Amino acid sequence: MSRIAGAFFRGRPVFIGFTVAGDPDMGRSFSAATAMIDAGADILEIAVPYSDPVADGPVIERAHHRALMAGIRPVDVFLLLLKIRDYAPDLPLILFTYYNIVYRRGVDRFFSEATAAGADGVLIVDLPVEESEEVVPSARRHGIERIPLIAPTTSPERQRAILQEASGFAYLISLEGVTGERDHLPSGLAGLVSAVREKTDLPIAVGFGVSRPEHVRTVLDAGADGVIVGSALVRLIEEHMDDGPGMREALRAAIVSLRDGFSSSSRT
């Protein structure tokens, strides 16, 4: 059983934390990642810094910029992954990236290096299913789960096509637009989860906009198997960049608070 499957196999909801590799530098990025792990993150999603992160809102976009300004390159991301893997040997690690990074490095080389660094899955946010014919065999050859993205506007036919070659878990985007904290999640979330559930046996995790314990409860009550929190955590890294202990404590407190949504959900 893969690490990702193992995380969802425990029979309880899964908390997935997100961070941008190298934000604001390698040392503090590693400290933030380990703080999330220590606070109870079941899976860690780590973004490869990119100059044009079109799916991301301003908070995560600034994190990409800080990492790039610190000189973080893909090779540094893999080195960071190795350190995190050494810290948490059994924790599933997901790389979140844009296709240009994969293409420029070479598809097979990228997946080979990802495996060597300890990655369990890769999510390529801007790669259409129609153009993934080179990625699918490379991911399979190197034992990397290929995480699919399903948007609220994705048609049923396209959902089936996206899910056909996917593995790990299905990442369901809760709302239209880019990443970022929201006051409320869409009222039709349960219908979205149900529609995807009909087409796949993969676990379903919901992200985009999840930033409060009540959001976590909403996601789980909608039938999802996990929640993904990004901007709310990245914002804390930004706010505490010059205070390492303060950053770790802020991340710990945030994740503990968000996980309170697990206990108040009807799923648990």
For residue 52, tell me if it sits in a domain: yes
- Kindly list the strands in the beta sheet with 226-229, ordered across the sheet, starting from the edge strand earlier in the chain: 145-146, 121-124, 93-97, 43-47, 14-20, 226-229, 204-207, 170-173, 149-150
For residue 228, tell me if it sits in a domain: yes
* Cα-Cα-Cα-Cα dihedral sign, residues 27, 31, 37, 43: negative
For residue 6, tell me if it sits in a domain: no
Catalytic residues: 45, 56
Residue 121 forms beta bridges with which residues? 94, 145
pLDDT interval class at 202 (50, 70, 90):
very high
Lowest mean pLDDT across 16-30, 35-49, 125-139: 125-139
Which residues, other chains included, contact 208 with Cβ-Cβ below 8 Å and sequence gap of 6+? 173, 174, 175, 177, 178, 179, 180, 228, 230
For residue 4, tell me if it sits in a domain: no
The pLDDT value recorded for residue 188 is 84
Q: Pick from 95, 57, 98, 103: which is nearest to 76 by CA?
A: 95
For residue 104, tell me if it sits in a domain: yes
For residue 2, tell me if it sits in a domain: no
- Please tell me which residue, 188 or 107, carries the higher pLDDT value: 107
Q: Pick from 27, 67, 70: which is nearest to 47 by CA?
A: 67
Report H helices in 23-73. Answer: 26-39, 58-69
For residue 236, tell me if it sits in a domain: yes
What residue type is 235 in one-letter code? Answer: R
The pLDDT value recorded for residue 27 is 97
CATH code for the domain of 229: 3.20.20.70
pLDDT interval class at 56 (50, 70, 90):
confident
Supply the mean pLDDT for the chain. Answer: 92
* Cα-Cα-Cα-Cα dihedral sign, residues 95, 145, 6, 78: negative
Longest dimension (CA), the chain: 48
Element (H, E) at 159: helix 156-164
The pLDDT value recorded for residue 208 is 84
Looking at the predicted structure, is the pLDDT value of residue 234 above 80? Answer: yes
For residue 8, tell me if it sits in a domain: no
CA distances from 119 to 18, 111, 177 (A): 14, 9, 28
Element (H, E) at 207: strand 204-207
The pLDDT value recorded for residue 211 is 86
Residue 126's domain comprises 13-263
pLDDT interval class at 261 (50, 70, 90):
confident
pTM as predicted: 0.94
pLDDT interval class at 179 (50, 70, 90):
low
For the chain, the residue count is: 268
Q: How many domains does the chain have?
A: 1
Q: Pick from 190, 191, 194: which is nearest to 222 by CA?
A: 190
> 3-state DSSP helix/strand/coil percent for the chain, to nearest 5?
50, 15, 35
Looking at the predicted structure, is the pLDDT value of residue 180 above 60? Answer: no
